[in-house]
Amino acid sequence: MTTRSILTLALLTVAWLTAAGQERKKNIVDEVIWVVGDSPILLSEVEETRISMEMMGETVENPYATIAEELARQRLYLHQAELDSIETNEQYAASMADEQVNAAIQMYGSRENAEAVIHKSIAKLREQYREMARTQQLISGVSQNLTKNVKVTPAEVREHFSKMPEDSLPFIPTQVEVQIITNEPQVSREEIDKVENKLRDIAERINSGEKTFAQMAKIYSQDGSARYGGELGLSGRGQWVQEFADVAFSLTDPNKVSRIVRTEFGFHILQLIEKRGDKVNVRHIIIKPEIAESEYERCLNRLDSIAEDIRAGKFSFDEAAPILSDDKDTKYNHGIMANTDEMTRSLTSRFEMKDLPQDIAKIVAGMSVGEISPAVRIINEKTGSEVCAIIRLKNRIEGHHANMAEDFQVLKNVVETERKKAIEEKWLQEKIRTTYTRIAPEWRGYKYKYDGWIK
């Protein structure tokens, strides 16, 4: 378990804050079990983390020793952050805190339920998460300072792996490059009128006081927020599509229902809950129009015709995509789908099969390079709606052990990661040796990963 994993766990879970967790915490007679420098580690900190991990289904060998040592490691990083005068990005910390508070509200169904179960006000919970985010930033800052001068040349990468047996090199799973052209079935005027009339009726019932917005959202809204009364949580403009954000940020009266707004997801009405700085929390009700089967058939026939013309050499897939595709994310890149590389966080055209949308992966699995699929109906994972598409397998790179010619960046990342880890481990061991630590007698019998804690 790394420092980062402990922090990520803390940021991603509110489970240990449930009533059960609170009751177990009440039974703990708190005490100082470690002191690192001038910073104490409490038994309650260890217990809270252990309970959190249990509730998330994670198992750790010797949890008391592992968790206590991990908290001690954090203290060393935070002390170094103070020496290095590392600053935190308060906007990022606030954003992360808002995300976690929103998750808690959605988990328990409302603000009131969350506060009742957690036994903390939303304001106190938000500050707790903000402090966790600050801690994460400080530790990351120390790590970056320690390893900022690590640079690896191609010659060093080649030398590192030159004497390594091929079967010991990192294995790169099969990867594919995929192109896509989509057509979105059009909604009929009659269906638009039907949906808008339904939303107007819902709005009238809310405005008349017959029902609350939250009650109507639970009955009629067609997305996951329905179970929470349509509440979306504090969000910035960039978290919503522009049409929705424009309406959400224009609201000023929590007692009024917005006009109907159409987005790529469907038709919405909104109600303001609160504004805080550059963020707003709203409820919404979304109704998604039904598409006639004849419209799907029209799109499928059009795409099959396009595919036939490409196969006949009248134009290429690359030429067709920017003119004929409705897919905003790919049409201006010759239809090439983009993936985010897990290690570098940069965009790449290569996908492992598991990373492709499920509908597309099933089609690509049986295709040859250069082949174009028949027109098919697939789910747009961004909007959840069904669209029609033709898919071309541009390239397939079969699974293989990494080599310098094709996978230099992968090998370079491996070497850089190893060197950074070695630097941090050396620094940490020296920091343990030179920092005052005191461990309560009953905690000295555990086997810890690092030597030198017990002076």
Q: Using the 3D structure, point to which of 287, 315, 335 is the last residue of a domain.
A: 287
Q: Say whether both 221 and 264 belong to one domain.
A: yes
Range of the domain at 347: 172-186+292-401
Domain membership flag for residue 449: no
Q: Say whether both 219 and 113 belong to one domain.
A: no
Domain membership flag for residue 436: yes
Domain membership flag for residue 332: yes
The structural domain count of the chain equals 3
| The token pair that represents 93 in the structure block | 């910390």
Report the chain's terminal Cα–Cα distance, integer Å. Answer: 24
Domain membership flag for residue 411: no
Helices H / strands E in the chain, number of each: 15, 14
Q: Say whether both 396 and 342 belong to one domain.
A: yes
Q: Which helix (H) or strand (E) holds 389?
A: strand 386-397
Cα 344 from Cα 200, distance rounded (Å): 48
Domain membership flag for residue 162: no
**pTM (predicted TM-score):** 0.68
Q: By the 8 A CB rule, do 283 and 269 touch?
A: no
Q: What is the edge-to-edge ordering of all strands in the sheet holding 279-287?
A: 261-263, 266-276, 279-287
| The token pair that represents 51 in the structure block | 């309970």
Q: Say whether both 54 and 141 belong to one domain.
A: yes
The CATH number linked to 78 is 1.10.4030
Three-state SS sequence of 263-330: ECCEEEEEEEEEEECCEEEEEEEEECCCCCHHHHHHHHHHHHHHHHHHHCCCCCHHHHHHHHCCCCCC
Classify the phi-psi angles of 62: left when phi > 0, otherwise alpha if psi is within -120 to 50, otherwise beta. left
Q: Say whether both 178 and 314 belong to one domain.
A: yes
**Residue 387 DSSP label:** E
The torsion of the CA quartet 148, 154, 160, 163, rounded to 10 degrees, works out to 180
Q: Say whether both 265 and 333 belong to one domain.
A: no
pLDDT tens per residue, range 405-417: 889 988 999 999 9
In our burial notation (b when 16+ CB lie closer than 10 A, e otherwise), range 379-408 reads ebeeeebebbbbbbbbeeeeeeebeeeebe
Cα 235 from Cα 14, distance rounded (Å): 19
Radius of gyration of the chain from Cα atoms?
Answer: 27
pLDDT by residue, tens only, the chain of 455 residues = 444 443 344 433 443 344 334 444 445 468 999 999 999 999 999 998 888 788 777 888 889 999 999 999 999 999 999 999 999 988 788 888 888 888 888 788 777 888 888 888 888 888 888 899 999 999 999 999 999 999 999 999 999 999 899 889 999 999 999 999 999 999 999 999 999 999 999 999 999 999 999 999 999 999 888 888 998 888 888 889 999 999 999 999 999 999 999 999 999 999 999 998 888 999 999 999 999 999 999 999 999 999 999 999 999 999 999 999 999 999 999 999 999 877 666 788 999 999 999 999 999 999 999 999 999 999 988 888 899 999 999 999 999 999 998 899 889 999 999 999 999 999 999 999 999 999 999 999 999 999 999 98
Classify the phi-psi angles of 57: left when phi > 0, otherwise alpha if psi is within -120 to 50, otherwise beta. left
Q: Say whether both 145 and 118 belong to one domain.
A: yes
- Residue with tokens 């349509």, as numbered in its chain: 230
* Residue 278 to residues 18, 129, 237, Cα–Cα distance (Å): 30, 19, 8
Q: Say whether both 178 and 326 belong to one domain.
A: yes
DSSP string, 16-65: GGSHHHHHHHHT----EEEEETTEEEEHHHHHHHHHHHHHTT---SSHHH
Alpha carbon 58 to its chain centroid, in Å, reads 19
Domain membership flag for residue 448: no
Residue 276 forms beta bridges with which residues?
Answer: 279
| The token pair that represents 74 in the structure block | 């954090």
pLDDT tens per residue, range 205-240: 999 999 999 999 999 999 888 888 998 888 888 889
Q: Say whether both 113 and 180 belong to one domain.
A: no
Cα 99 from Cα 146, distance rounded (Å): 30
Residue 48 forms beta bridges with which residues?
Answer: none
Q: Say whether both 256 and 359 belong to one domain.
A: no
Cα 128 from Cα 101, distance rounded (Å): 10
* Residue 365 to residues 175, 177, 178, 181, 401, Cα–Cα distance (Å): 11, 12, 11, 18, 21
Q: Which residues contact 121 (CB under 8 A, 6 or more apart)?
A: 115
Q: Say whether both 265 and 224 belong to one domain.
A: yes
Domain membership flag for residue 204: yes
The CATH number linked to 391 is 3.10.50.40
Q: Say whether both 121 and 37 belong to one domain.
A: yes
Q: Using the 3D structure, point to which of 253, 287, 321 is the last residue of a domain.
A: 287
Q: By the 8 A CB rule, do 450 and 69 touch?
A: yes
Domain membership flag for residue 35: yes
